[in-house]
Chains A and B, each alone.
Chain A
């Protein structure tokens, strides 16, 4: 194709048209912070870890009565202690997986591998979020169950409910929780969707070449 040859010939001269940066102009660039997708994902994953740890611990430290009640449960019930230990284990596991995934992102890999490393990091964050959302839902149900059993006031109120009212009350609590969780999930979908839109498109394009 003659036109491409023409372009190639001209391309060789290309670049001479740009203003060359001197060494003195390059040094300051090295001090600047990267605003790459990898960096943004890193901040998001750290934020994610901190956010969910806070969500799980703030109620414990901010409410005295809640703490006393929890402490009472903990001293009697090894199941709760084991569950808490397990949840911290899971957090540690995710910290390790995220660290590993971030380490694997390297701008010197080939394009496909780099894209895969980034998508893998995104997957780890996704699993962490799913884990927390599922746990939030389960704790809500378990919490409700224990509240009814242990709280005389609540138990008293419920005992006056007829069957239909009980079902409606449960449905409302479960419905609201599910709605909140879905809302949070959609927020994440949107966040990552926007952030990784171009990456996903380019990755698909590259994968298409392999077919």
Chain B
């Protein structure tokens, strides 16, 4: 029975693992930390899996557990030295000469997203994943109106980071 459960879980995870990678990409910025968070999210998903009912989509359920792990449950392991890397990157963006190519723009955008706080990252992540405000509000535990207001503020904030 347990083997079957394990098998079905691994199969689903293998298929949808991109969601976890994306969460890790947003909340970490080095290889070790990425792997560490990936493992913790996987463990949390596995622990909760027996309670997973087919009535919600596996991927929807993954967003919730993934974000919860990243913003609440996860304790950074000693391996990852986040803050130092971070300052260096932030400093570098401003020093770079602005280049109009799409690639350069994207690079700057990703860096700007990295400068947001944990909650803002969660909201922007759900937005990028094309979730509607109902799902965003249900995942975060805030009202739809507040989710909408906050999202607009984040967009403005990103704009300010991009065009200081």
**Distance, CA A202 to CA B18, complexed state (A):** 25
A7/B48 in contact, CB under 8 A? no
Question: Closest approach, in angstroms, between the C-beta of B79 and any C-beta of chain A?
Answer: 12
Q: How large is the interface on B (under 10, 10 to 19, 20 to 34, 35 or more residues)?
A: 35 or more
Q: How large is the interface on A (under 10, 10 to 19, 20 to 34, 35 or more residues)?
A: 35 or more
- Chain A: interface secondary structure? helix
Question: Closest approach, in angstroms, between the C-beta of A3 and any C-beta of chain B?
Answer: 6
A3, A38, A205, A210: the one within 8 Å of B73 (CB)? A38
**Distance, CA A109 to CA B11, complexed state (A):** 24
When A and B form their complex, what is the total count of cross-chain residue pairs whose Cβ atoms lie within 8 Å? 153
B9, B19, B128: the one within 8 Å of A8 (CB)? B128
Q: Given known contacts A30-B6, A107-B48, A210-B146, is B140 in contact with A37 (CB within 8 Å)? A: no
A1/B159 in contact, CB under 8 A? yes
A10/B106 in contact, CB under 8 A? yes
In the complex, which residues of chain B have a beta carbon less than 8 angstroms from the beta carbon of A112? Answer: 140-142
CB proximity to B under 8 Å, residues A164-211: 195, 198-199, 201-202, 205-206, 209-210
Which residues does B use to contact A, with CB under 8 Å? 6, 9-11, 13-14, 17-19, 21-22, 25, 39-40, 42-48, 51-52, 61, 64-65, 67-69, 71-75, 77, 102, 105-106, 109-110, 113, 117-119, 122, 127-130, 138-143, 146-147, 149-150, 155, 158-159, 162
